[in-house]
Amino acid sequence: MSEIIHIGDLSIAVTRKDIKNVHLSVHPPEGRVTLSAPTETRLEVARAYAITRLSWIRDQQEKLRNQARETPREFIERESHYLWGRRRLLTVIERDTKPCVTVDHKRITMSVRPGSNHAKRASIIHEWHKSLLHEFIPTLISKWEPKLGVLVAAYFLQRMKTKWGSCNHKAGHIRLNTELVKKPKDLIEYVVVHEMLHLIEPTHSDRFISLLTENFPTWREARSELNELPLSAEEWRE
Ligand SMILES: [Zn+2]
């Protein structure tokens, strides 16, 4: 059940939940705004809070509109692609051998069969991203397992629209977004540590925050850098 707050031309869907803090979010792709509030919060209080955050909401919506203008990658010659947080230019070579991708400090070189279309090129890059992450992620997991005192039964890589990672607490699994390969390695490490800590503490409770702070003191900076895309949510502590 949700209620709607109207502020000028802005509509905010309010959901009441068994939570401690008001939580305001701006969602991609259109900039839809939602507010979760503790069950007993009065609507006027939620509205007053949303008004104080109005310029933040407008900023986030503006960012989304700008992101929406970014064209999707076409996998063509001299196009920019990010890898481990650094921009590189793509070189495409057409030759009739098994497709492959190599990288040096300036360039990503993709060899494809003549006539490979956009979808084929995208899937070659995607497989390559997965293979890079499959080399890197296990080193992070084995570094952090003894430090945190947890065991990761399995990890999975997949495309995710709105999250960098998730965790299945019961099964001991973590799931990571393949887009992470575009981010600096220290930010990927933050996501892995975050999801691994969820194996100890499933929710973002005070205990979770203190475990995170103890083990990864720069988590706030890492989170805000990552959340430049997709958008972050903001929390208000009552
Ligand atoms: Zn989390």
Domain boundary among 70, 89, 110: 70
φ, ψ for residue 147, nearest 5 deg: -65, -40
Distances (CA, A) of 89 to 99, 105, 107, 177, 229: 18, 10, 5, 23, 21
Q: Which domain holds residue 30?
A: 2-70
The alpha carbon of 204 and the centre of ligand 1 are apart by a number of angstroms equal to 6
**Structure-token match 């997991």, residue found:** 141
Q: 106-159 pLDDT, tens per residue?
A: 999 999 999 999 999 999 999 999 999 999 999 999 999 999 999 999 999 998
The alpha carbon of 203 and the centre of ligand 1 are apart by a number of angstroms equal to 7
Helix (H, G, I), strand (E, B) or coil at 19: coil
The alpha carbon of 194 and the centre of ligand 1 are apart by a number of angstroms equal to 6
| 238 falls within a domain | no
Query: Number of folded domains in the chain?
Result: 2
Q: What is the distance between the alpha carbons of residues 219 and 108, in angstroms, rounded to a whole number?
A: 30
The alpha carbon of 7 and the centre of ligand 1 are apart by a number of angstroms equal to 30
CATH number of the domain where residue 120 is located: 3.30.2010.10
The alpha carbon of 160 and the centre of ligand 1 are apart by a number of angstroms equal to 15
The alpha carbon of 206 and the centre of ligand 1 are apart by a number of angstroms equal to 12
Q: What is the distance between the alpha carbons of residues 97 and 119, in angstroms, rounded to a whole number?
A: 18
Q: Which amino acid is at 32?
A: R
pTM of the model: 0.69
Q: 197-206 pLDDT, tens per residue?
A: 999 999 999 9
**Structure-token match 């090129």, residue found:** 121
Domain boundary among 70, 97, 113: 70
